[in-house]
A and B are shown apart, each in its own frame.
Chain A
């Protein structure tokens, strides 16, 4: 158990819809990364937050956004969903050394 929680575990929705994925980091970690993992793209870094502030952006689409709240949990919002957005979405809680502790992921299926 990494100490990182993600909800929901599975999400099935239709094209054009909007969903929110939630992540709670390990106690004491201030930073959260979001990743998308699909069969054809591998593990893609989306965005990083540190103590409520956005720190880095990766291959994140404009239809996607994220935020980190004062209690340090983070949410990833995906809108105008397309079939190609179907993937596993992971968050990772990051310690000061750069060690990343991954959550179990949310499997998103867009029909």
Chain B
């Protein structure tokens, strides 16, 4: 069955520290991959997406993600976290044939301490 797993329900990091949020997927073929961020009471905002090509993808707000086919993973990273990065982060997948069946992970809530 197709699924997306974000193993960490919440993570706390210190401001200025590096961040890695994990995402694993189960899919029949290499899907399109996405990371979204949601601030409290707001809609989800697309951070970055991977369709094909270079497995290291750059996104907005200084985030990047690396696609690892052998591990079925698409982890999100940021070298130095800012207090404004505190939010919930969602990993998502969609079929690589295009189309409209996107599956979201349960989300990881990021807390940033001063």
Contacts and interface: CB of A to CB of B under 8 A. Distances in A.
Given A43-B90, A43-B104, A43-B107, A102 B99 contact: no
B44 A90 contact: yes
B100 A48 contact: yes
A68 interface: no
B1 to A, nearest CB: 15
B92 interface: yes
B44 A107 contact: no
A98 B101 contact: yes
Contact size class for B?
Answer: 20 to 34
A87 to B, nearest CB: 12
Interface in A38-85: 42-43, 45, 48, 50, 55-56
A50 B90 contact: no
A102 B102 contact: no
A43 B43 CA distance: 11
Interface residues of A, number: 26
Contacts of A45: 104
Contacts, number: 64
A107 to B, nearest CB: 7
B43 A105 contact: yes
Contact of A50 (B49, B100, B106, B107): B100
A101 B98 contact: no
Interface of B: 32, 34, 36, 41-46, 49, 51, 90, 92, 94-95, 98-102, 104, 106-107
Interface of A: 2, 4, 31, 33, 42-43, 45, 48, 50, 55-56, 88, 90, 92, 94, 96-105, 107
Nearest 4 Cβ contacts at the A-B interface: A98-B94, A102-B43, A102-B44, A104-B43
